[in-house]
Each structure stands twice: as structure tokens, then as C-alpha cells.
Amino acid sequence: MPNSPKSQETRQRILDAAEALFARDGFASVTVRQIMKQAGADVALAYYHFGSKRDLFDSVLLRRAETMNAIRHAALDEVERRHPDDSPTVEEIIAAFTNPLLDLLESDHEQWRHYFALVAQVNNSPEWGGELMTKYFDPLVRRFLDALRKALPDCPPEDLYWSYHFLSGALTLTFAETGRIDNLSDGACSSRDMAAIAERLPAFIAAGFQYLASK
Amino acid sequence: MPNSPKSQETRQRILDAAEALFARDGFASVTVRQIMKQAGADVALAYYHFGSKRDLFDSVLLRRAETMNAIRHAALDEVERRHPDDSPTVEEIIAAFTNPLLDLLESDHEQWRHYFALVAQVNNSPEWGGELMTKYFDPLVRRFLDALRKALPDCPPEDLYWSYHFLSGALTLTFAETGRIDNLSDGACSSRDMAAIAERLPAFIAAGFQYLASK
DNA sequence: AGCGTAATTCAACGCTCGTTGAAACGCAAA
DNA sequence: TTTGCGTTTCAACGAGCGTTGAATTACGCT
């Protein structure tokens, strides 16, 4: 009985545990034994289900990448549907890129905040940032860049790429919820205050895109 | 003779090797033996000079943090000197925050790009981001926030903190030189093109600050 | 020249790591 | 009930880890 419900559930428990631990401590700091202890399963099961520690890591990344990409595609679909003739505004496009992540966080905070923290680490790692992020997110990002190109027809492509790069950095740090802003603001701001992010991040980034394009 | 020139040079060689390896692979992936092999010194010397692997890591971070803070303070001094009566513009202040890093990269690319990549990883790690970044960079950041508060007197403090947070994310990813933008742009942009960054990053960020403050 | 201390080397410790092969279990089909 | 296969457990492997104490070297001072 391949893929029995029982074994599927075990796989998910392992992925959950691995996700939380990798997100907090990084790939190399986490032990397969730690993961399996938290998952409540035997060490060898990790290798039976996933092959190796590295393959387990990739599986963790892949699992939610699909959901994340789907929800962002849908958000951009929706924005484009509202503009059959003209182009959406820059801020609308950026919001379609960022707001779905806030929705995911609000729907299931625990799971997604671990995942986003993990992506933040991967994105900022020279070792993995180039390859892994490209692998999982490139098609989606290119679609957003296309939409932005239409919204900013006079903007040189290089400016678009750099603007997106700045967006990517701001986004990943913000969603990593490192607690840095809590410390810095002496508690006036909270990493976990999603409403605060939704009000500010798309506006901030859209202004940057537009200013750069207009220079 | 304590602190002999010879041993100082050894210490620096160890720090250089540790910096490069930590930056590329992260704290936990790197072994002390790797570091000391690259430094051309015996394993035990790491412990003689620095105490433990973790202390060595802190020493790596601390070494350049002082230089980095000093050069940024000086840049802000200079900007404020040019405005004895009125406040500098937001873009001038942001440029005083970012451009010194570009100067450092241009003066000695190899050393500083490793360091910045390391800071990017620390900044985006939930484990260390909150504490270590606060420890090394808080006084400087608070001074910049004060300057920005004067340049944007009607801006609510929360908006300033969030804007700085977005700046921090964009900055650390950009200086981490992960190669992500190279892949995404099919070579049209290069992570290492400092002129491209200097032209765009301060402008992009300043626009975000101003737009958020004006809302 | 020879002493004293700082700097460096050497060899080893106990431990934990990722990984694996063989044995045991559970359950649907026969 | 027995068979067969997917799943899980158990025990262990060799390798490499961070770290240390003792032995050795290098060298400025008297």
C-alpha cells in the first residue's frame, strides 16, 4: 500500500519539524536526529522517505513553494482582470506580490512564518541564494517583471531588475520576523504586526519603483 | 612578548580565512580545521588566540564593524556639516548610510564583500539577527534615524522604523552579492556593479521614505 | 649565553554526525 | 491464515567534529 494515509502523515510531520528547525537554526546547525525527535519518529525514517538530509531540505522548500506561487499567480490574475484595457498601477502589482504572503501568514501563522524565515536565509546565502531561488521562483518573478514593464513602459530594464532586487531584500527580511525591528524600536513596532506591513511595504516599494523609473 | 607583530599577523590570517568561509557557508557548515588549513596554521592556534569557534565568529564580526561604523559616522558628520542651519535631504542621509559601504568595497573588494555577505546572513537569521545586529550596529542606526526624523518632522515614528527595516533588507541582500540578480536578469545586471547600486539604491530608498512619510 | 614567557605544534579525548543494512511490524489481498 | 509489501524500528559503522593539555619552538631581556 504505497502512500498510505499513515505514511503521508508521517512525511508531513517530518517536513513540519524540519521546516521549523531549519528556519530557526539553518541547514547545517540542525541534526537529523533533532528533526526526527521533534517529529516523533525514528531517525532512519528520514532517509527512507527523503533519501538524505539535503533532499529533505529541498523537499521542505518545495512543499510550500507551489502553494506560494499559485496564490501569487492568482492575485496577479485578479489584478489584470480588473484592468482589461489599461495597465494596473505599480502599487497594485506590488501588492499582488506581497499581500498573498500576508494572507498566508494570517491563515496559518505558525507554518508559514517558519517557511518565510527559511526562504529569507536561502535568499541571502551566497551558497544557495543564486541557484535555489532561481529554481523555485523565477517563472513567477518574471511574470511580475513583465507586468511592471507594462506599467512603467519608459523604465530601462536594468532599473526594473534592481528595483525588484531591493524589493526582494526588503520582503525577505520583513517576512523572516527576526525581531530586529522590535529591538530597534523598543517595542513600538512588532515583526509580527501584519497590518503594519500591509500598510507600508507595498507603498514604500512602489514609490521606489516609480521614482527610479522617472529619473 | 605579548602581541608580537608575528602573532598579530597570524591572528589576522585566521580572521581572514574564517571571514571568507563563514560568509560563504555559514557558521555551522564551516569547521575550525577548514579555517586553520586555509589560514595555514595549526588547529589549536584558533583556540589559543580566540578561545572557541563561537568567539572566533564574534571576533570576525567585530573586527570590521568598528571600521564600518566609523566611516558611516564620518559620512553623516560631513552631510550635517554641509547643513548648519537646515536639515539635509532624506536622500543625502540615506546616501551617507549606503555610500560608505560602496567606498569600502571599492577600496578592498575581496575583504569587504566577504564581510557584507556574512552580515547579510546574520541579519536575516532569526537566531542571531535580533541580538547580534543590535549589539554591533544599534547606536549608529539610531543616529541615522534621528537625522531622518528631523528631515521628516511630520513622519510618525513607526513609519520611520519600518522604512529603515525595508532599507536594511534591501541593503543587506544587495551587498551580499548572492548572484541572484545576475541569474534573474540573464546577465543584464551584475551583483558586483557598484556604480549601478550607487545610482539606484539611495534614490529608491529615499523615495520610499518620503512617500510613506507623506501618506 | 641563558632564562622566561609568548607562540606554536602534536596527539589525542569524547562525542555526535549522516547514513545504512537487517530485522520487526502492520495491514490489505489471497 | 498465510503471503507480500510498505513502513517502521534497532543497532551500529566510520568519519569528522570542537576542544584540550602537554611538549616544543621562537625570541626579547638580562
CA dihedral A145, B167, B149, B153 (to 10 degrees): 10
pTM of the model: 0.93
pLDDT at B36: 98
Residue whose entry in the numeric block shows the C-alpha cell 516609480: A210
- Burial call B52-85: b when 16+ CB within 10 Å, e when fewer: ebeebbebbbebbbeebbebbbebbeebbeeeee
Cell for A96? 499582488
- Burial call B144-165: b when 16+ CB within 10 Å, e when fewer: bbebbeebbeebeebbbbbbbb
Q: Under 8 Å CB-to-CB from A166, ≥6 apart: which residues?
A: A205, A208, B170, B173, B174, B200, B201, B204, B205
Give all strands (DSSP E) within A42-158, no chain letters: none
Q: Rounded CA gap, A97 and A166, in Å? A: 14
Over residues A172-191, the mean pLDDT reads 95
Give A30-63 pLDDT, tens digit per residue.
999 999 999 999 999 999 999 999 999 999 999 9
Q: Rounded CA gap, B184 and B134, in Å? A: 32
Nearest nucleotide to the CA of B9, by C1', is: C7
Q: Rounded CA gap, B41 and B50, in Å? A: 14
Q: What is the mean pLDDT of chain A?
A: 95
Amino acid at A84: P
Specify the 3-state DSSP secondary structure of A97.
helix
Q: Rounded CA gap, A35 and A40, in Å? A: 9
**What are the C-alpha distances in Å from A133 to residues A95, A101, A122, A129, B97?**
20, 16, 7, 6, 28
A177 CB neighbours in chain B (<8 A) are 126
pLDDT at B1: 56
Instruction: Say whether pLDDT at A2 is over 70.
Output: no
A138 CB neighbours in chain B (<8 A) are 183-184
CA dihedral A51, A57, A60, A66 (to 10 degrees): -100
Percent of chain A with pLDDT over 90: 89
Expressed in percent and rounded to 5, the helix, strand and coil fractions of chain B are: 80, 0, 20
Over residues B178-198, the mean pLDDT reads 95
Q: Rounded CA gap, B96 and B177, in Å? A: 21
User: Which residue is closest to B143 within chain A, CA to CA?
Assistant: A184
Instruction: Say whether pLDDT at B194 is over 60.
Output: yes
Give B93-144 pLDDT, tens digit per residue.
999 999 999 999 999 999 999 999 999 999 888 888 878 988 899 999 999 9
- C20 C1' to A47 CA distance, Å: 9
Please check whether strand C approaches the CB of A31 to within 7 Å: yes
B208 CB neighbours in chain A (<8 A) are 203-205, 207-208
Over residues A78-93, the mean pLDDT reads 97
pLDDT at B35: 98
Nearest to B119 by CA among B171, B194, B53: B171
User: Which residue is closest to B185 within chain A, CA to CA?
Assistant: A161
CB distance B171 to A168 below 8 Å? no
CB atoms within 10 A of CB A42: 12
Nearest-neighbour CA in chain A from B186: distance (Å)? 10
Nearest nucleotide to the CA of A50, by C1', is: C19
Instruction: Say whether pLDDT at B2 is over 70.
Output: no
CB distance A73 to A143 below 8 Å? yes
